[in-house]
Amino acid sequence: MVFTEILSLVVKMTTIKVVLSMIAMEDLYLKQMDIKTAFIHGDLDEELYIVQPHGYVVIRNEELVRRLRRSLYGLK
């Protein structure tokens, strides 16, 4: 993973303006939605491992490394 190549799937402002103009010209109805957890429901494309959080203890396994299968907040 190259940390200088971070991708965020958001819409460009130019695209929003064009779509809003088309809606206004055609007198269409617009409905807006915000899915706040959209980015954390995506699958990871590569194997990524993290150290288990402090305070989380499993019997006989005090320090484990865990494989992530889904995204986390703040994950780059």
Quick one: pLDDT at residue 45? 77
| Angle formed at CA 68 by CA 47 and CA 5, multiple of 5 degrees | 60
Inter-residue contact 68 to 52 (CB < 8 Å): no
Quick one: pLDDT at residue 23? 95
pLDDT tens figures, 11-45? 889 999 999 999 999 999 999 887 777 666 677 77
Cβ-based neighbours of 43, under 8 Å, separated by 6 or more: 69, 70
Find the farthest-apart pair of alpha carbons in the chain and give their distance in angstroms, rounded: 66
